[in-house]
Amino acid sequence: MLGVGEMGSLHAKLLSTKIRGASVTVVSDPEQGKARQVADAVGARVEVDPFSAIDAQDVDAVVIASPGPAHEAQVMACLERGKAVLCEKPLTVEADASYRIAKAEDALGKSLVQVGFMRRFDPEYVKLRQMIVSEELGPPLMLHLVHRNVAGPEGFTSEMALTSAVVHEADTVRFLLGEEINAVTVHRGTATSRAGPGVSDPMLVLFETESGRLADVEIFIRTGVAYEVRTELVAENGTARIGLGANVVTSGPTNRWGGLLASGFVERFGPAYEEELRCWVRAVGTGPPTGASAWDGYVAQAVCEAGLEALRTGGRAEVALLERPSASSRVAPA
Amino acid sequence: MLGVGEMGSLHAKLLSTKIRGASVTVVSDPEQGKARQVADAVGARVEVDPFSAIDAQDVDAVVIASPGPAHEAQVMACLERGKAVLCEKPLTVEADASYRIAKAEDALGKSLVQVGFMRRFDPEYVKLRQMIVSEELGPPLMLHLVHRNVAGPEGFTSEMALTSAVVHEADTVRFLLGEEINAVTVHRGTATSRAGPGVSDPMLVLFETESGRLADVEIFIRTGVAYEVRTELVAENGTARIGLGANVVTSGPTNRWGGLLASGFVERFGPAYEEELRCWVRAVGTGPPTGASAWDGYVAQAVCEAGLEALRTGGRAEVALLERPSASSRVAPA
Amino acid sequence: MLGVGEMGSLHAKLLSTKIRGASVTVVSDPEQGKARQVADAVGARVEVDPFSAIDAQDVDAVVIASPGPAHEAQVMACLERGKAVLCEKPLTVEADASYRIAKAEDALGKSLVQVGFMRRFDPEYVKLRQMIVSEELGPPLMLHLVHRNVAGPEGFTSEMALTSAVVHEADTVRFLLGEEINAVTVHRGTATSRAGPGVSDPMLVLFETESGRLADVEIFIRTGVAYEVRTELVAENGTARIGLGANVVTSGPTNRWGGLLASGFVERFGPAYEEELRCWVRAVGTGPPTGASAWDGYVAQAVCEAGLEALRTGGRAEVALLERPSASSRVAPA
Amino acid sequence: MLGVGEMGSLHAKLLSTKIRGASVTVVSDPEQGKARQVADAVGARVEVDPFSAIDAQDVDAVVIASPGPAHEAQVMACLERGKAVLCEKPLTVEADASYRIAKAEDALGKSLVQVGFMRRFDPEYVKLRQMIVSEELGPPLMLHLVHRNVAGPEGFTSEMALTSAVVHEADTVRFLLGEEINAVTVHRGTATSRAGPGVSDPMLVLFETESGRLADVEIFIRTGVAYEVRTELVAENGTARIGLGANVVTSGPTNRWGGLLASGFVERFGPAYEEELRCWVRAVGTGPPTGASAWDGYVAQAVCEAGLEALRTGGRAEVALLERPSASSRVAPA
């Protein structure tokens, strides 16, 4: 386990208590105290150097939850040693670096990298994708996506909203539609008073896919309300909505009926993280991972870079993808 | 307009502003000031004596919203003069008196009486009844009903919960199923702390119909939450629920999604009262009223009396109906 | 009643049976047989010439449901005679003509024109607007709108989708936000196979208001499913959705729970048409109408013209409004 | 694993693929072929004699999914050898036998038995129980429960509906309210035409708890629609509903909006079975199980016996519980 901040600690705890066939043997984090604490909790030892950790004989597979800038070297080290790796998003900060990873993996002729887009393991997204693949409602035509957070950290910019939050929606669009995003436009609307000067929140992001489908995303970081993530599919013969969170419905205590919204991503997607780890651990040593690939990680970053350009120019930015390495699976094969 | 308390004032206002073909010409109420005030507002004159009001030449039809004990004599006076009458529930306080009205009307050979069970004009109940009549979901098998108020007036007893609130559910069961209720059982459960000593609230009331169908009613007067009236039909090939109040759904302002519940019966059933008056006015002079009949009013009271007996004994009380006058329409003809 | 096609017949029937204070005295339609039939049904006489009908002494107010190209002359004739007029949308086919009407009305110094945007009388839109005006969820930031039809008439083009359907959403945006639309962009996405060659369906229309708010509209004419019109408000402290149609919920007859969607606009907005007429009739002779004004009718057409330009160019089209006549009420005064 | 019918096979598969810390070592079933097949699939060996299987040195804990009549001897054998046991419901066919188990366990001074009421591990029931324990909506007053199946096996009687299906609701009532059921009444209503002669389906079952709370259960085996299990809590300050299944909502393919209902208990409660096993495996060797106890299993059977009496007599049957063994935990400790 490389990096034991919020995500790394969550992964370590899940791996050591809930995931069949996995044990955390080595923990590494620049903050030694934190590393020691997590290692003790899960019965692991600490390695100060992340590359020694990757090298270790009792390490079959690596989870990377370190800060983004550290990812490239760590993932590459895993590839060199032929070890499976689950890397939290972003795969790398720059799209180019992600592409180098995809190429290196391709040269190995072996899929070793999974990127942590956990929504692909959430039952609702899985169901929606099944509906698309089975054409239960006919071919997909359009998507409407909503991504709302309660609040952003201090200093959270419009750019970060794209790279940290909208990136999930970009992967969702690709996962659901099974095709690439060709262009991005970002519309800055009226900002909430909670947004600082110069920050656009909410925004409306428009994706166009290679076949010409449209997907619009409301990204709203500072709702002050809840973590609310919804997707609506518009298909040839009907539409479908997920993310309604309607399993427990109350009347009262005030004069309202309704349900509770999630407070954050751990509450909403906790079980998806768990399932992601379960599938990944099962695949280690037995076959390619079933989650997002290095290519998916690369494309996500390329879309983010186009999004940042669109935000800056106020216009439409095209996503120029490099050639897909031959062994890379296409997005979300059915 | 006889009686201008809450219901009478509402009716007078609706009649004079919203109902095509109607004008309020005479108002009568023991409280002269109140009568004057309402009369002025709707352009009517005041008659002190309700029977003079009924007699008046410029009165074609009478709305009775006076206290229950005054109803029998006032309805009978209308029948004697051949004038159409819309009488708020209860038709009379004692079932016997209601039966006398049904007999008197039968002797006239003319349907002149409508009882104010306004739910029969609410679009959701009408739709549910259509689903039953059309057997869209197959024949009906069972009903679950919920009747919740925010609070009861001071001194509101368990008996009053039956005669004022459950009586609407009794009429609903008859309206929906199109058959009579044969027996009533009342179960007192654990009472809310808001109920005074000796008052059972909520209660579970069980109706059995002549064909053997069951209908259970949760009656809960002091919820402290809202006015919430729901009905669920269990039918041979499916079930249907009404009263969910789900037209406007919000997320927030707290971390909840949901809708607003009605604060009271005027908010929930205001349009039904309006439609009730519209249909009744249209029927005056042209044909029998389409709402609840004198027979319906009688049966409602007979069911209430059985309910009171069931409450007292803790057991099952049968509803013994007198013979239906030949001209009385059966309940809720399709 | 000028014009007795689908809308005119509906209005005539509602006016003569449901609207207090109104009677239809004269009917005019180029199809004489149709005019005769409707006139007979509502107890009116036929005038062949629409201007004679407007002139008639027993005509206090005029409902125009004739084809769009006839509107300008008919509305102008009403203004010349000082008669109140309810004109179905579009007020005129060209925005310029609508502006001439707004100017003529302004010169009269009297509001006589109401345009038939009936959604302003639908309880859900009224409630949503109240939430905005009261700032119950804080100031509005963004709107998401969905407008789906079952099918379009043969030969129904993308342009007609804008002028016949999206025009309602344009008025909705103005009604809800209380400000003008400044620019329109139309995105053509992947078309349903039900759309003919060259027809874009669905499309995503993006409105920008004068204060910079965004409103996106999914317009989808040939869903093959139902008439489904929803609006979601994104506000500073929460969000709200209307148009869910969730009052009757069934389980079955198949293995699904849910509700019925409207089959068309009469089913969905019938009561709104009724309320629109009721309010308009009440206002005749007593004050300015409470519905959409001539100015609103003009702006709707100007927005449509910008939408058509945006559709043609694939880019963003600005809405250039002429100066608002001094007496014209601003959009949707609170 | 004793017994590898539908439930046993499911448990064996979950244990060997999804549950951390468990492996299936021995399988036993009178049908040797079936036993062999499951054993091969999970890497276990077959023991013909269930008691030899219980005895085996490489067996730490036993899952009993054999037919009900075999349970008593098998559970007792586990107790004698001090091995943890997860016994599918019913704990035993007769309440007396369950009581003997509870006494035997009490004499051991050690909680070794868990009964397979898996709903206690379903997130919605857990949430509802938390709401009750935390008094989020105030103290509970009443429960409404609905239990619907698509169809029953041939020859499925009204009695079986009580012992196979309503027994889950009895445990749910005890789990949620944390108190015993004192009396049961069973009302036979109008039967669906799908029910054979003499079979009552649906029925309304009424539970009364020791503190006087009411819980009504609609049990309907042959809906022809879906597996639909809902619970509504009526509490002092509000009400709450679970089981709505509202996570994916579609419009279309017909003119309806809504969601899919579960086809059966594995679809609805699969994750609960998994969580049940996960918690149970974790508890083996480390502490008492957190699921339903032997006492809970005994009470469930005692309530069933009262239910059968109530069904036979048409009246109210009291639940006479034997003295609770001192070490038995009370129902559902908070």
Q: What is the pLDDT of residues C271-329, one digit of tens each?
A: 999 999 999 999 998 888 889 999 999 999 999 999 999 999 999 999 999 998 876 65
By residue count, chain B amounts to: 334
All residues of chain C having their beta carbon less than 8 Å from the beta carbon of residue D248 are none
Give the mean model confidence (pLDDT) for residues B46-71: 97
- Give, for all 334 residues of chain D, the pLDDT tens digit: 999 999 999 999 999 999 999 999 999 999 999 999 999 999 999 999 999 999 999 999 999 999 999 999 999 999 999 999 999 999 999 999 999 999 999 999 889 999 999 999 999 999 999 999 999 999 999 999 999 999 999 999 999 999 999 999 999 999 999 999 999 999 999 999 999 999 999 999 999 999 999 999 999 999 999 999 999 999 999 999 999 877 778 887 778 888 888 888 888 899 999 999 999 999 998 888 989 999 999 999 999 999 999 999 999 999 999 998 876 655 554 3
* Identity at D137, one-letter amino acid code: L
Q: Please answer yes or no on whether D247 and A128 come within 8 Å at the CB atom.
A: no
Cβ proximity of B312 and B179 under 8 Å = no
Residue of A nearest to C233 (CA): A218
The packing angle between helices D265-283 and D6-17, to 10°, is 50
What SS3 class is residue B298? Answer: helix
Q: Please answer yes or no on whether D248 and A241 come within 8 Å at the CB atom.
A: yes
Name chain D's partners: 3 or more CB pairs within 8 A: A, B, C
pLDDT of residue A334: 38
Taking chain D, what is the end-to-end CA distance rounded to the nearest angstrom?
31
Q: Are strands B238-242 and C248-251 parallel, antiparallel or unpaired?
A: antiparallel
Cα separation of D294 and D273, whole Å? Answer: 18
* Identity at A160, one-letter amino acid code: M
Q: Please answer yes or no on whether A128 and D238 come within 8 Å at the CB atom.
A: no
Quickly list H helices, chain C. 6-17, 32-42, 50-55, 71-80, 95-108, 123-133, 158-160, 167-177, 265-283, 294-313
Distance between A89 CA and the closest CA of chain D, angstroms: 26
pLDDT of residue D252: 79
State the ipTM, two decimals: 0.90
pLDDT of residue C258: 85
H or E element, residue D172: helix D167-177
Q: Please answer yes or no on whether D251 and A244 come within 8 Å at the CB atom.
A: no
Distance between A102 CA and the closest CA of chain B, angstroms: 41
Q: What is the DSSP string of A39-70?
A: HHHHT-EE-SSHHHHHH-TT-SEEEE-S-GGG
Dihedral of CA B52/B54/B57/B59: which sign? positive
What residues in chain C have per-residue pLDDT under 50?
A: 333-334
Cβ proximity of B181 and B321 under 8 Å = no
Tokens 């139309």 — which residue?
A: C186
B6-89 and B119-264+295-318 share one CATH topology?
A: no
Give residues with Cβ within 8 angstroms of B33, minimum separation 6.
none
C-alpha gyration radius of chain D: 20
Tokens 């993308």 — which residue?
A: C158
By residue count, chain C amounts to: 334
Interchain CB contact of B183 with D (< 8 Å): no
Give residues with Cβ within 8 angstroms of D193, minimum separation 6.
B139, B236
Q: How many CB pairs under 8 A join C and D?
A: 68
Q: Which CATH number fits domain C119-264+295-318: 2.40.30.20, 3.30.465.10, 3.30.360.10, 3.40.50.1110?
A: 3.30.360.10
Residue of D nearest to B147 (CA): D234
Give the one of C190, C216, C228 whose C-beta lies nearest to A216's C-beta: C216
Q: Could you report the per-residue pLDDT of B251-283, keeping only the tens digit for each? A: 877 788 888 888 888 888 999 999 999 999 999
Interchain CB contact of B259 with D (< 8 Å): no
Choose from B194, B241, B249, B255 for mutation: most chain A CBs within 10 A.
Answer: B255
Give the one of A124, A238, A247 whose C-beta lies nearest to D124's C-beta: A247
> So where are chain C's domains?
6-89, 119-264+295-318
Interchain CB contact of D251 with C (< 8 Å): yes
Q: Are strands D84-87 and D113-115 parallel, antiparallel or unpaired?
A: parallel
Question: Cα B193 to chain center, whole Å?
Answer: 28
Give the one of B20, B242, B252 whose C-beta lies nearest to C248's C-beta: B242
Cα separation of D131 and C195, whole Å? Answer: 51
Residue of C nearest to B138 (CA): C253
Choose from C131, C135, C137, C141 for mutation: most chain A CBs within 10 A.
Answer: C141
Cβ proximity of D307 and D186 under 8 Å = yes
Cα separation of D52 and D262, whole Å? Answer: 39
Distance between C268 CA and the closest CA of chain D, angstroms: 13
DSSP state at residue A241: E
Cα separation of C103 and C58, whole Å? Answer: 27
Cα separation of C309 and C322, whole Å? Answer: 18
Interchain CB contact of A242 with D (< 8 Å): yes
**C-alpha closest to that of C29 among C42, C19, C17:** C42
Give the one of B226, B246, B256 whose C-beta lies nearest to A255's C-beta: B226
Cα separation of C7 and C29, whole Å? Answer: 13
Choose from B247, B255, B281 for mutation: most chain C CBs within 10 A.
Answer: B247
pLDDT of residue C244: 85
Q: Please answer yes or no on whether C239 and B251 come within 8 Å at the CB atom.
A: yes
All residues of chain D having their beta carbon less than 8 Å from the beta carbon of residue A238 are 250-253
Interchain CB contact of A248 with B (< 8 Å): no
Q: Tokens standing for C214?
A: 């965004």
Q: Are strands C203-209 and C214-220 parallel, antiparallel or unpaired?
A: antiparallel
CA distances to A63, A85, B58, B218 from A66, rounded to whole Å, are: 9, 13, 88, 56
By residue count, chain D amounts to: 334
Q: Tokens standing for B56?
A: 């008046």
Give residues with Cβ within 8 angstroms of C311, minimum separation 6.
C158, C159, C162, C186, C188, C200, C203
Q: How many CB pairs under 8 A join B and C?
A: 85
Cβ proximity of B137 and B235 under 8 Å = yes
Cα separation of C267 and A251, whole Å? Answer: 29
Distance between D146 CA and the closest CA of chain C, angstroms: 12
By residue count, chain A amounts to: 334
Instruction: Give the CATH superfamily of D119-267+294-318.
Output: Dihydrodipicolinate Reductase; domain 2 (3.30.360.10)
Q: Please answer yes or no on whether C224 and A204 come within 8 Å at the CB atom.
A: no
Dihedral of CA B295/B301/B304/B305: which sign? negative
Peptide bond connecting C67 to the previous residue in cis, omega within 30 degrees of 0 = no
Q: How many CB atoms lie within 10 A of CB C80?
A: 13
Choose from B149, B213, B231, B234 for mutation: most chain D CBs within 10 A.
Answer: B234
Quickly list H helices, A109-139. 123-133
Does domain A123-265+295-318 match CATH 3.30.360.10?
yes
User: What share of residues in chain C are helix, strand, coil (percent, to 5)?
Assistant: 40, 25, 40
Q: Are strands C84-87 and C113-115 parallel, antiparallel or unpaired?
A: parallel
* Share of residues in chain B with pLDDT > 90 (%): 85
pLDDT of residue D327: 63
Name chain C's partners: 3 or more CB pairs within 8 A: A, B, D
Q: How many CB atoms lie within 10 A of CB C147?
A: 23
Cα separation of D163 and D90, whole Å? Answer: 8
Give the one of C124, C248, C278 whose C-beta lies nearest to B248's C-beta: C124
**C-alpha closest to that of A288 among A112, A41, A119:** A112
Interchain CB contact of C134 with B (< 8 Å): no
H or E element, residue A114: strand A113-115
Interchain CB contact of A151 with C (< 8 Å): no
Give the mean model confidence (pLDDT) for residues B151-161: 95
pLDDT of residue C327: 63
* Identity at A103, one-letter amino acid code: K
Cα separation of A40 and D116, whole Å? Answer: 35
DSSP state at residue D145: E
Cβ proximity of A199 and A157 under 8 Å = yes
Tokens 């990204």 — which residue?
A: A219
Burial track A195-211 (b if 16+ CB lie within 10 A, e otherwise): beeebbbbbbbbbbbee
Cβ proximity of D259 and C256 under 8 Å = yes
Task: Decide if pLDDT at B334 tops 50.
Answer: no
Tokens 């709702």 — which residue?
A: A223
All residues of chain D having their beta carbon less than 8 Å from the beta carbon of residue A250 are 131, 137, 238-241
Give the one of A190, A202, A238 whose C-beta lies nearest to C211's C-beta: A190
State the greatest distance between any 2 C-alpha atoms of chain B, in Å, as a whole number.
62
Question: Cα C229 to chain center, whole Å?
Answer: 13
Q: Tokens standing for A26?
A: 């080595």
Predicted model pTM: 0.91
Interchain CB contact of D266 with B (< 8 Å): no
* Share of residues in chain B with pLDDT > 70 (%): 98
Burial class (CB in 10 A: 0-12, 13-18, 19+), D66: buried
Dihedral of CA A134/A138/A144/A146: which sign? negative
- Give, for all 334 residues of chain A, the pLDDT tens digit: 999 999 999 999 999 999 999 999 999 999 999 999 999 999 999 999 999 999 999 999 999 999 999 999 999 999 999 999 999 999 999 999 999 999 999 999 889 999 999 999 999 999 999 999 999 999 999 999 999 999 999 999 999 999 999 999 999 999 999 999 999 999 999 999 999 999 999 999 999 999 999 999 999 999 999 999 999 999 999 999 999 877 778 887 778 888 888 888 888 899 999 999 999 999 998 888 999 999 999 999 999 999 999 999 999 999 999 999 876 655 554 3
Distance between D259 CA and the closest CA of chain C, angstroms: 5
Cα separation of C144 and C229, whole Å? Answer: 11
pLDDT of residue D328: 61
Taking chain A, what is the end-to-end CA distance rounded to the nearest angstrom?
31
Classify domain A6-89 by CATH number: 3.40.50.720
Q: Please answer yes or no on whether D238 and A250 come within 8 Å at the CB atom.
A: yes
**C-alpha closest to that of A180 among A228, A138, A213:** A213
CA distances to B203, B205, B259, D313 from D205, rounded to whole Å, are: 16, 13, 32, 14
Cα separation of A295 and B69, whole Å? Answer: 82
What SS3 class is residue B146? Answer: strand
Cα separation of C60 and C229, whole Å? Answer: 35
Give the one of D146, D213, D216 whose C-beta lies nearest to B190's C-beta: D213
Q: What are the backbone angles phi and psi of residue D302, rounded to the nearest 5°? A: -65, -40
Give the one of D226, D251, D261 whose C-beta lies nearest to C261's C-beta: D251
